[in-house]
Amino acid sequence: MEAAYIKRKADGRIHIKSGSKGDQAVRWTIITLAVLTVVAFLFFNYAGLELGPAIKETAYNVKVMFLEPALNHFDLGEAIYQVGVTLGLAFLATIIGAIIAFFLALMAAANLAPVWVSRTVRVFVAIIRAVPTVLWVLIFAIAAGLGSEAAVLGMLFHSIAYLVKAFSEAFEEVDKGIFEALQSTGANWWHIIRSGVLPSTFTYLLSWVFLRFEINFGVAVAMGAAAGAGGIGFELFMASGFYFDLREVGFITYAILIIAVLLEVLSTRLKKRYLPAASN
C-alpha cells in the first residue's frame, strides 16, 4: 500500500497526496538530475564528430584491448612486482588508518565520549573527508615530494576520516543493555570497550576495513601515475599515454580486475569465518 501524507491548505481544506514527503523529495531529485543530464548533452561541442567511424574505432579499440591482451614493454615478473607495490601502498594506508581511526572513533561515538569531544572529532573528520583523496596526495606532495610517501599519506589521511565515521556509527548501534550490564559489574571504560563494544562490532569493523582497502587499491592505481608513486598504475599510464599500447592496457586492466575480485572473495570468507565469533 502506497504511503500518503496530509497537507492542510490556508482555507482549512485538507489535501491528501500519495507518497511520503521523503518519496516526493527523491522523485523530484531524480527528475531534476535527469533534466540536467539531458541539458548537459545539448551544450556539448559536436563539431567534427562522425558518429559512424567513431563507433567503429571504439569497437576496434575495445576488441584489441580486451581480446588481445599482451605485455610488450615489461615481462610478467615485473607486472607481478608492480601489482605488489600497488597493494603495498593500499595496505599501509588502510592498516595504519584503521588503527588510528579506531581510537578516534571511540571519541567520536556519542555513547562513548562526552558530547563536546564527539562533536569536535566529527567536525574535524568531516572536513578531512570533504577533500578528495587526490587533493590530499597533492597537498602532501608539496611537503614530501612526488612519490610513494605522498600517496600513502594522502590515502592515510582520507582513510582515517572515512573509517572514523563508519566505526563510530557502528559503536553507536551497540545495545545499551550491554553497557548497563558491564557497568553493574564494576567494569571501567576500557573494559566496556574490550568486552562489550569490540565483540559486538568486530564484523562491521572488518567489513569497513576491507571496503576501504578496496577503495585504497583503486586510488593507489590512480596515484601511481598522478603522484609518481609507481606500481601498476604508473605502468598503465605509460602504456596508455606514452606507448599507446592498447594490448598492454588490456593486460593491466585484467590484472587489476583479478586483484579486485580476489580481494572481494577474501573479504567474504573472512566475514563468514568471524561472523559467528562476533555474534556470540
Report the domain count for the chain. 2
CATH code of the domain in which 198 resides: 1.10.3720.10
My answer on whether 195 and 215 are in the same domain is: yes
Residue 228 is given by DSSP the state -
Mean pLDDT in residue range 72-100? 90
Q: What is the mean pLDDT of residues 40-44?
A: 84
Say yes or no: 127 and 227 in one domain: yes
Contacts of 213 (CB under 8 A, 6+ apart): 90, 91, 94, 263
**Gap between the Cα atoms of 139 and 136, Å rounded:** 5
Mean pLDDT for 49-78 is 86
Domain with 9 in it? 4-63
- As a whole number, mean pLDDT of residues 125-133 equals 89
pLDDT at 251: 92
Does residue 68 lie within any of the structural domains? no
Q: How far apart are CA 160 and CA 99, in angstroms?
A: 9
Local structure of 170: helix, strand or coil = helix
Q: Sign of the C-alpha dihedral, residues 62, 66, 70, 71?
A: positive
Indicate the residue type of 59: A
Q: Where are the beta strands (DSSP E) in 96-233?
A: none
Q: Read off the pTM.
A: 0.77
Last-in-domain residue among 63, 89, 106? 63
Q: In the listed set 34, 63, 92, which residue is the last one of a domain according to the structure?
A: 63
Task: Give per-residue pLDDT as tens, 223-272.
Answer: 877 777 778 888 888 888 888 888 999 999 999 999 988 888 887 887 77
Q: Is 232 found in the same domain as 258?
A: yes
Domain boundary among 21, 38, 63: 63
How many other β-carbons are positioned within 10 Å of the β-carbon of residue 39? 9
In 8-114, which ranges are continuous DSSP H helix? 21-42, 51-67, 76-108
Q: Mean pLDDT, the chain, as a whole number?
A: 83
What does the block give as the cell for 159?
A: 582513510
Please check whether residue 252 is in contact with residue 239, taking contact to mean a CB–CB distance below 8 angstroms. yes
The reply to whether 237 and 149 lie within a common domain is yes
> Do 92 and 44 share a structural domain?
no
* Long-range pairs of 36-40 with CB within 8 A, sequence gap ≥ 24: none
Q: Domain check: are 160 and 36 in the same one?
A: no
Same domain, 233 and 254: yes
What residue has cell string 564494576? 186
**Cell (9 digits) for 147:** 612519490
